[in-house]
A and B are shown apart, each in its own frame.
Chain A
Amino acid sequence: MRLKCLALAGAVAFVLGGTHLASAGPTLDAVKSRGAVKCGVNTGLAGFSLPDSQGKWTGIDADGCRVVAAAVLGDATKVQFVPLNAQQRFTALQSGEVDILYRNTTWTLTRDASQGLEFAGVNFYDGQGFLVPNSLGVKSALELDGATVCVQPGTTTELNLADYFRTHNMKLQTVVIEALDQLLQAFEQGRCQVYTTDKSGLAASLANDLSNPGDYTILPETISKEPLGPAVRRGDDEWFTIVKWSLYAQLEAEEAGITSKNVDEQKASSQSPTVQRLLGVQGDMGKQLGIDNAWAYNIVKQVGNYGEMYDRNVGPSTPLKLPRGQNALWNAGGLMYGIPVR
């Protein structure tokens, strides 16, 4: 892993050296001629991207990749998943190893402005939390003065952690291990008393990684804002726009009540101009993006609207049991706000 990361970083120089002669918008061309979207995902995070027993990737991030493939290639299965850890992810995107990074990645100014990438939206609003064993007898994060905390490197998590302890004048000890399974093992064996990451990540580890999930509690505090979303390479506006609008199309579909079940019926008989535009019955929305006019129809038909995708992967009926909360649509008390497709 570590070596791969180094090799990737080393490769950046050369790939950067090689590609600048290509025309603007090379990613769409490359994806079309390859017939697949290369998508960087988490190596294994339940609800976000995790291979199931048949080796099929599941999760809201994995589905995000499929949404783009459905929009661009008309086939949601045309995705090559590239599992990446926290340290490798940006280098992999910069060096062209993946076309999109869909890996529970937090949108921050530094990443957006100076690392050669651009965030195309938010597919999950999250925040950082703490997981502690019940035996520790802690009820609030403010009691953690002097505790040893396990955290993954190269994340916003480790920065927020240091900020939080600094702000509250608490003494911090950390154990920093790159591989999540090794880190969680150290946590389970008691090398550290606290594990911290995005709350969705804590829920995923409780659902999937820890052997006695009943022995742990997530503390009430949320210490940061973690808007997670897809990122693409900077400088390819065409591709950036497609990824951005694929996500909006899902939100618009949910708002308009279009689901994977009723999309054919809606396409055939809906009189709503919004629905007609979105599904390509009227107008040339897809063509303006440089892709098929049935782009949004394909997305909803093959992957579903945002709500369906949420419920299937992380919602209350899944092992993660996450309520919609901030991720509800704007007109239902949440932050998810689709930009008009017109």
Chain B
Amino acid sequence: MATAGLSAQRTGGLGAAWRNPRVRGIIYQIVVVGLLAALIAFLVNNTITNLAIRQIRTGYDFLAQQAGFNIGEHVIPFAPSDSYGRAIVVGFLNTLKVSILGIIIASAIGVLMGIARLSSNWLLAKVAMVYIEIVRNIPLLLQLFFWYAIISQLLPNPRDALVPVPGFALSKMGLQMPALIYDPGQTPLVIIFLISMIAAYFYYRWARRRQAATGREPKLLLPIIGLIVLPTLVAYLVLGAPLHFDVPTFTRFNYQGGTSITPEFLALLVGLSIYTGSFIAENVRSGILGVPWGQSEASSALGLRRGQQMRLVVLPQALRIIVPPTTSQYLNLTKNSSLAVAIGYPDLLSVTNTTLNQTGQAIECISIMMGIYLVISLAISLFMNWYNKRVALVER
């Protein structure tokens, strides 16, 4: 300390500055950032040099080249003659498809099972508990194999497919269904249907406001269904739009045509929903337990039935506790969907990995994949943060 003091005296201002913790902090930070930047620059430079030495192709122009491989299922049309870029988009949409549906179903399972676990009905509570404890404690990958094996084991060969309704066929190849073929003659119907939906929404808002103002609850269900269905139905009867279906028909090996739900998609969706649902159920349970018992008693004293208590008083308050951890479950579900590769569902990871292998461009493909997963995760987070703000307790 003494020497430091002495040298500080000798060097004057510089030493004084060094003894100032704020200045020192800034200097440290500059040094760390500088070193980090130098390290990154070194790695990037070396990587580029080495890729060149080994003659490994670099750059993203492969995205425009013909992919040459087939993809089992796709939301947008895809053929092997399409590009790698399009293949990756197909994988991305497949990931979105299974994630969005999975999030919806997992949430429904989670809410039901979370409430059931707190039920005063002994059997119901135990069933919910067993479900949660079993499902949460078995690795997801095993569960996916399980569902996939069940589906492909139980269902018959396409030749002996189950045909519950003509046009629908259930077999090891999945569920084949008729697809509606779009015809320009249907456009007025679609427009009328959309308008009816909007009208129904406004009716709902009006009804709510009226209930708030008068205390009386206008009829909801029938008018809304009527508003949505009737105009379109009348228009269909009057205008008579042409409806064509692409009906699956059996050719030599399989049903061809129409649309289908594949066993891979089904196994993944069921597996992800059931697995994530068990975690959400625990979030729901802790959320409900976090609402003071007095709230239930008070609402019960006001004459609300059990269902109403839950729906109108407890759940809205519990949401504050439920939403943040459930957001992470949604993110988990989306990321876990990449296990698809094990049971052959062509998700983003599976398709991009194949692209990586066929082109050998590891760095490019991995960067694309990380970028896309990051964007999906951020989008979910942003949405859930917005929702969380909406349900958060407004303190007065």
Partner-B contacts on A (CB < 8 A): 2, 5-6, 9-10, 12-14, 16-20, 86-87, 90-91, 94, 110-111, 113-116, 136, 143-148, 153-154, 158-159, 161-163, 165-166, 171-179, 182-183, 185-186, 189-191, 193, 233-235
Contact = CB atoms under 8 A, between A and B. Distances in A.
Contacts of A159: 68-69, 358
A324 B68 CA distance: 32
Contact of B51 (A16, A144, A162, A186): A16
B173 A20 contact: no
Contact of A9 (B145, B152, B172, B356): B356
B350 A162 contact: no
A14 B68 CA distance: 30
A240 B254 CA distance: 48
Among A19, A136, A175, A191: residue with most chain B CB under 10 A: A191
Interface in B123-169: 145, 149, 152-153, 157
Nearest to A150: B344
B253 interface: yes
User: Main secondary structure on chain B at its contact with chain A?
Assistant: helix
A222 to B, nearest CB: 19
Given A87-B353, A114-B57, A182 B362 contact: no
Contacts of A191: 152, 172-173, 263
A136 B50 contact: no
Nearest to B369: A6
A171 B256 contact: yes
Nearest to A157: B69
Interface string B357-389: 111101101100000000000000000000000
12 contacts: A9-B366, A12-B363, A13-B363, A14-B43, A136-B253, A145-B252, A175-B344, A178-B342, A189-B152, A189-B153, A193-B253, A235-B55
B342 A182 contact: yes
Contacts of A147: 252-254
Given A12-B363, A182-B342, A191-B172, A17 B54 contact: no
B360 A158 contact: no
Interface in B51-103: 51, 53-57, 68-72, 80-81
B253 A148 contact: yes
B253 to A, nearest CB: 5
A193 B56 CA distance: 38
Given A153-B353, A161-B70, A148 B51 contact: no
A154 B55 contact: no
B254 A173 contact: yes
B295 interface: no
B98 to A, nearest CB: 16
B46 interface: yes
B68 A91 contact: no
A90 to B, nearest CB: 6
A306 to B, nearest CB: 30
Given A17-B43, A154-B353, 19 more contacts: A2-B353, A9-B356, A16-B50, A17-B46, A90-B360, A114-B57, A114-B360, A116-B55, A144-B253, A154-B357, A163-B80, A172-B70, A173-B173, A177-B343, A185-B149, A189-B149, A190-B172, A191-B172, A193-B253
